[in-house]
Amino acid sequence: MIYFASFLIGKLNRNAIPSDLMTLGAAVSIVAGLIFGALIITYLHKWKYLWKEWFTSVDHKKIGIMYIIVSVLMLIRGGVDALMLRGQQATSVGIHHGYLSSYTFAQVFSAHGTIMIFFAAMGMMFGIINLVLPLQIGSRDVAFPFMNLTSFWLFFAGMILVNVSLGIGDFSAAGWLAYPPLSELQYSPTVGVDYWIWSLEIAGIGSLLSGVNFFTTILKTRAPGMTLTKMPMFAWSVLCTTSLIIFAFPILTVTLTLLYLDRTMGMHFFTAGAGGNMMMYVNLIWAWGHPEVYILILPAFGIFSEVVATFSHKRLFGYRTMVGALVSITVLSFTVWLHHFFTMGAGADVNGFFGIMTMVIAIPTGVKIFNWLFTMYKGRIKFSQSMLWFFGFVGLFTVGGVAGVILAVPPADFQLHNSLFLVAHFHTMIVGGVLFGYFAGLSYWFPKIFGYKLNEKLGRLTFYLWFIGFLLAFVPLYILGLLGATRRIDHYSASLGWQPLFIIAGVGVLVIASGVFVMILQHVVSFLNRDSLKDKTGDPWNGKTLEWSIPSPAPFYNFATTPIVHSHDFYWDVKNIIKHEPKEINDILMPKNDSNAPIIGITSVFFGFAMVWHIWWLALVSLFVIVAILLKRFNDENPNYLLSADKIVELEENYLIFRQS
Amino acid sequence: MKTNVYQASNHPTGQFKNYLIGYFVSILLTLSSFFIVTNHVLTLNTAVYVISLLAIGQFIIQIVFFLHLFNERSPRYRLLVFLLMLSIVLILVIGSIWIMTNLSSNMSIPKQIQYMNNQGGGF
Ligand code: HEM
Ligand SMILES: [Cu+2]
End residue of a domain, out of B73, B90, B107: B73
| pLDDT of A656 | 63
DSSP state of A379: -
How far, in Å, from the CA of A337 to the mean position of ligand 1?
10
Task: Enter the ipTM.
Answer: 0.86
Shortest distance between the Cα of A211 and any Cα of chain B, in A, equals: 14
Do B38 and B92 have their domain in common? no
Do B33 and B62 have their domain in common? yes
| pLDDT of B123 | 41
Q: Can you give the C-alpha Rg of chain A in angstroms?
A: 25
| pLDDT of A622 | 95
| pLDDT of A432 | 95
Closest CA to A199 of A232, A159, A236, A168: A159
Which of B5, B10, B74, B98 best probes binding to A when mutated, by most A CB atoms within 10 angstroms? B5
What residue's CA is closest to ligand 1, atom 4?
A404
B contacts of A590 (beta carbons < 8 Å): 5
Do B33 and B59 have their domain in common? yes
Do B68 and B92 have their domain in common? no
Q: Which of A84-93, A103-112, B13-22 shows the lowest mean pLDDT across its residues?
A: B13-22
Q: A212 CB under 6 A from ligand 1?
A: no
| pLDDT of B14 | 54
pLDDT mean over A349-354: 94
Contact B7 A220 (CB under 8 A): yes
Whether the per-residue pLDDT at A577 is higher than 90: the answer is no
| pLDDT of A598 | 94
DSSP output for A582-615: ------EEEEPP-SHHHHHHHHHHHHHHHHHHT-
Note the pTM of the prediction, 2 decimals: 0.89
From the CA of A175, the nearest ligand is 1
pLDDT mean over A324-340: 95
Instruction: Count how many domains chain B has.
Output: 2
B contacts of A285 (beta carbons < 8 Å): none
What pLDDT band is residue A644 in, cutting at 50, 70 and 90? confident
pLDDT mean over A95-112: 90
| pLDDT of A580 | 56
| pLDDT of A661 | 43
How far, in Å, from the CA of A426 to the mean position of ligand 1?
5
Contact B91 A335 (CB under 8 A): yes
User: For residues A489 and A477, what is the distance between their CA atoms, to the nearest angstrom?
Assistant: 13
Full residue range of the structural domain in which residue B103 is found? 77-123
pLDDT mean over A568-584: 69
| pLDDT of A233 | 95
Whether the per-residue pLDDT at B65 is higher than 90: the answer is no
- Phi/psi for A534 (5° steps) reads -55, 140
B contacts of A588 (beta carbons < 8 Å): 2-3
DSSP state of A190: S
What residue's CA is closest to ligand 1, atom 22?
A404
End residue of a domain, out of B38, B53, B73: B73
Do B68 and B90 have their domain in common? no
Please state the atom number of ligand 1 nearest to the C-alpha of residue A177: 41
Whether the per-residue pLDDT at B29 is higher than 90: the answer is yes
| pLDDT of A650 | 79
User: For residues A643 and A659, what is the distance between their CA atoms, to the nearest angstrom?
Assistant: 23
Do B7 and B60 have their domain in common? yes
| pLDDT of B121 | 45
Closest CA to A560 of A447, A647, A437, A434: A647
Domains of chain A: 2-660 (1.20.210.10)
Whether the per-residue pLDDT at A569 is higher than 80: the answer is no
Do B56 and B104 have their domain in common? no
Whether the per-residue pLDDT at A374 is higher than 80: the answer is yes
Do B1 and B50 have their domain in common? yes
Percent of chain A residues past pLDDT 90, beyond the cut:
67
Whether the per-residue pLDDT at B112 is higher than 70: the answer is no
From the CA of A413, the nearest ligand is 1
A contacts of B104 (beta carbons < 8 Å): 277, 279
| pLDDT of A581 | 56
Q: A282 CB under 6 A from ligand 1?
A: no
User: Ion ligand 2 — residues with CB under 5 Å?
Assistant: A 290
Do residues A230 and A315 make contact, with C-beta atoms less than 8 angstroms apart?
no
Average pLDDT, rounded, for chain A = 91
| pLDDT of B98 | 94
Q: Are strands A640-643 and A588-591 parallel, antiparallel or unpaired?
A: antiparallel
How far, in Å, from the CA of A419 to the mean position of ligand 2?
15
Return the ∠ at Cα A573 (arms to A319 and A140), rounded to 5°.
85
Do B53 and B87 have their domain in common? no
What pLDDT band is residue A582 in, cutting at 50, 70 and 90? low
pLDDT mean over A531-536: 88
Do B86 and B32 have their domain in common? no
Torsion from C-alpha of A447, A450, A452, A453, nearest 10 degrees:
-40
Do B100 and B121 have their domain in common? yes
Do B14 and B48 have their domain in common? yes
- The residue in chain A having the minimum alpha-carbon distance to the alpha carbon of residue B100 is A280
